[in-house]
Amino acid sequence: MAPKNKTRERIIEASLELFNAQGERSVTTNHLAAHLGISPGNLYYHFRNKQAIIAELFAQYESRVDMFLRRPDGRALTVEDKTFYLEALLAAMWHYRFLHRDLEHLLETDPELAARYRDFARRCMASATSVYKGFVESGILDMNDEQVEALTFNSWIILTSWVRFLCSIRSNPGDLSEELMRRGIYQVLALESGHVSPAARPAVTALLQRLHVPLEQVLG
């Protein structure tokens, strides 16, 4: 069993690497097999097609986000929690960046994945609403429920559209860097900038400065 599972894991890892580097659409199962030095038949023994590999990578991404995107029990949220959420999101987005880049294509060609994505998106937005309400309750944000609802939608859209935005605005869409991802997180934090309570403002401003990436770098 062990070597078989090892091959399965290697396929998953190499797929993620190649999808991220070249875009999922330009990587075929034959490319993958050649890259790994295994036969296409061996690859098909583990995954019946590319969609099955993508489904597995999406499941990894999903369980990773579900793990951290929740409100801690029994204590008030702090500005440090904000740093934690933003950095965890940045890391997850960067690790699985091909998903957001090719999202429409992936969802259009796989109705099962589209249904799972819908559930995932709704779950994430419900969690994000609960986290934002936690920041309101602990006095870091000053917002009403309608504003939290609008903020939740906006932060979800900015997060999931940032990679595509970069691709549409830059002359060289292939050169995404972790720094450019950081500016995406800055944009999500900037969504709240008008709603931060006076007491939390110095800490949030410091966090914004730490995440800032100059405009010229974004436009490339």
Binding site for a copy of itself (CB under 8 A): 102-105, 107, 114, 117-118, 121-122, 143, 146-147, 149-151, 153-154, 156-158, 160-162, 164-165, 167-171, 186-187, 190-195, 212, 215, 218-219
In the complex, minimum distance from the CB of residue 38 to a copy of itself, in angstroms, rounded to a whole number? 30
Residue 100: CB minimum distance to a copy of itself, A: 11
Query: Is residue 141 packed enough to be buried (19+ CB in 10 Å), middle (13-18) or exposed (0-12)?
Result: buried
18: nearest Cα among 44, 45, 52, 54: 54
- Rounded to a whole number of angstroms, the minimum distance from the CB of residue 185 to a copy of itself is 12
To the nearest 10 degrees (0 to 180), the angle between helices 111-137 and 79-95 is 160
CB of 48 to a copy of itself, least distance (A): 25
Distance CA(11)–CA(100), nearest Å, equals: 21
Tokens of 130: 């609960």
Q: Pick the closer one to a copy of itself by CB: 38 or 190.
A: 190
Nearer to a copy of itself, 44 or 153 (CB): 153
